[in-house]
Structure 1
Amino acid sequence: MRLQDVNAVITGASSGIGQAVASHFRREGANLLLTGRRPEPPESHPDDFYLAGNLNDETFVSALAARAADHFGDVGVVVLCHGLQASGPLVDMTYDDAREVLHGNLLSAFLVMKHLMPLAPESGGSVVCVSSRLGMVGMPNQTMYSAAKGGLIALARGAAMEWAPRNIRVNVVAPGLTATPVIEASFQRRPDPAAYRRMREDSIPLRRLATPEEVADAVLFLACPESSYVTGAVLPVDGGYTAF
């Protein structure tokens, strides 16, 4: 029960990594306020609060913070698991598409941090941002996504320095390919899903995708007291991909 009675807000909690993080936190005793785009949470837990909405909308994010203040009083942990994938040649991407990627991965994170971290208790708190291996390395046809996820890393590091006097730690988990519903669905759209999966696995030193639970393990570590002297760090959970 490493998060016993800790009040936590988790974004992107309706599927994939966010859902796994919520499960881990629940097991460790946290009080949860979850948010996602789905109208209803994927699992029914009577002790959780769930608020559906768009994190690009500052009015909604402000309402999310007000809900947290009303129900919890303070927020000790914030985990940013939401994001928006985009791919394609840079010259073919429209300005509107690029803006949507930046809003979905970076500016929305800024809004959540801006509105929720004033609720951190006097003893401090922890923010964990889920970025991507592509925030640290380039890949063809992923340029704007890399820019957004790299910006999220820079945002976290800056916030870590700004909030260190308040004992608010800000860290990043950078997953590699993870077997989320979105990734699995993208594989199934290929002409030969099994062959495409093998090809992607062969690009990873450990020769497999991560599970959402493995990424959630890293998030849990950075949220818990065991990492009390860690801030401004980026923890790759990518099977060795960025160690090349």
Structure 2
Amino acid sequence: MDLGLTDRVYVLTGASRGLGFATARALAADGARVVVSGRTAQTVKAAVEALGPDRAEGLIADLAAPDTGDRLVAAARTRFGRLDGALISVGGPPHGGVLETPEEAWQSAFQTIFLGTLRLARTLAAAIGTREPGHDAAIGLVLSSSVRQPLRNLSISNGLRPGLAGVAKDLAGELGPRGIRVFSLLPGRFLTDRNRELFDAATDPARAEAEAAAAVPLRRIGTADEFGRVAAFALSPAASYVTGAAIPVDGGSIVAI
């Protein structure tokens, strides 16, 4: 299948590794050009080298910084001359229950995860403008399966991510007439650094990982590339009639219909 990605340009936050990087790799492999951002120079440099300097531009950026959106847009236009969409990876908040998580952690997560994502999405939508039929753009939010059902000991994620899914749904309605599709991706368990941290925080990490795999209907934890291929498709012109959707990529873990 031709995804129609040749020479299209996407910005991806939190994409120097993990699910964001896997998506960037899938996009680049199918002909797109990407601007990837991360928090450290070392990981961003490594990502660009792995993707190929002719296909990728790197930027050190934090989702919480007010100028991140403008910098990403400028990088895409300066290096590649256009912008066709974005994948906003919403960072993982610290684990903990509702009662044990201090108010400061909630406030920090709201500023970074919720308002940072909202600010970036609005900036990207303004930069993309209005697209003609057949030349649509796409903005995707990487959220979590916690949008559909709470995850144990991840109260901040359970509290904030469903709200962002609602924002994405609203944006899909507002931006659809302008030729911009908006969707959410709901990843389940993948062997990323984030999930490795959660496993390591358990009393018995090996047992925690085995139990997590056993709880997935496919009886295994997903690979980042499996997520990246779904995200690349959703961003591509091949998914031109998909908008307003919250798409699980979780091996069947979400119980809700």
Instruction: Place the TM-score, normalised by the shorter chain, in its bin.
Output: over 0.9
Equivalent residue for 1:86, pick from 79, 91, 94? 94
Kindly indicate whether residue 106 of structure 2 is the aligned counterpart of residue 98 of structure 1. yes
What CA distance in whole angstroms lies between the structure 2 residues aligned with 1:160 and 1:181? Answer: 31
Note closer, same or farther for the CA distance 1:65–1:144 as it changes in structure 2 (3 Å cut): same
Residue from 37, 57, 61 that aligns with 2:39: 37
1:76 aligns with 2:84: yes
1:80-139 deviation digits (Å, cap 9, x = unpaired): 124123221211212210122223322211121111222226333011111100111123
The answer on 1:59 being equivalent to 2:59 is no
Amino acid in structure 2 at the alignment position of 1:122: R
> What is the DSSP-based 3-state SS (H/G/I as helix, E as strand, rest coil) of the residue aligned with 1:5?
coil
Match of 2:23 among 9, 21, 45: 21
Equivalent-residue separation in structure 2 for 1:233 and 1:204 (angstroms) = 22
CA separation of 1:193/1:84 partners in 2, compared to 1, >3 Å: closer, same or farther? closer
Q: TM-score, normalised by structure 1?
A: 0.93
* Post-superposition CA distance 1:145-195 (Å, at most 9, x none): 112211221111011000010110001110101110221243234443221
Measure the CA separation in 1 of the matches of 2:138 and 2:247: 15
AA of the residue aligned to 1:25: L
| Deviation by residue 1:45-65 (Cα, 9 ceiling, x = unmatched) | 212111102111112332222
Count of residue correspondences: 244
Q: Tell me the SS of whatever aligns to 1:216.
A: helix
Question: Matched residue of 1:242: which SS?
Answer: coil
Paired residues of 2:8 and 2:83 also in contact (CA < 8 A): yes
Name the SS for the 2:41 alignment partner: coil
What's the CA shift for 1:16?
0.5
Matched residue, 1:122: 131
Determine if contact 1:7/1:30 at 8 Å carries over to the other structure: yes
Q: CA RMSD in A?
A: 1.8
1:229 aligns with 2:241: yes
User: Which stretch of the first structure deviates more once superposed, 222-231 or 135-144?
Assistant: 135-144
Q: Which residue is 2:171 aligned to?
A: 159
Q: 1:205 aligns to what?
A: 217
List runs of 5+ in structure 2 lacking aligned partners. Answer: none
Distance 1:71 1:113 in 2: 21
TM-score after normalising by structure 2: 0.88
Is the 8 Å Cα contact of residues 18 and 82 (structure 1) preserved in structure 2? no
Q: Decide whether the 8 Å contact of 1:161 with 1:232 is kept in 2.
A: yes
How has the CA–CA distance of structure 1 residues 144 and 191 changed in structure 2, closer, same or farther, with 3 Å as cutoff?
closer
The aligned residue for residue 143 of structure 1 is 155
Structure 1, gaps ≥5 residues long: none
Q: Quick one: which amino acid aligns to residue 12 of structure 2?
A: I
Matched with 1:168 is: 180
* Cα distance between partner residues in 1 of 2:247 and 2:160: 17
For 1:59, give the aligned amino acid. Answer: D
3-state DSSP of counterpart to 2:104: helix
- Aligned equivalents of 2:161, 2:12: Cα separation in 1: 18
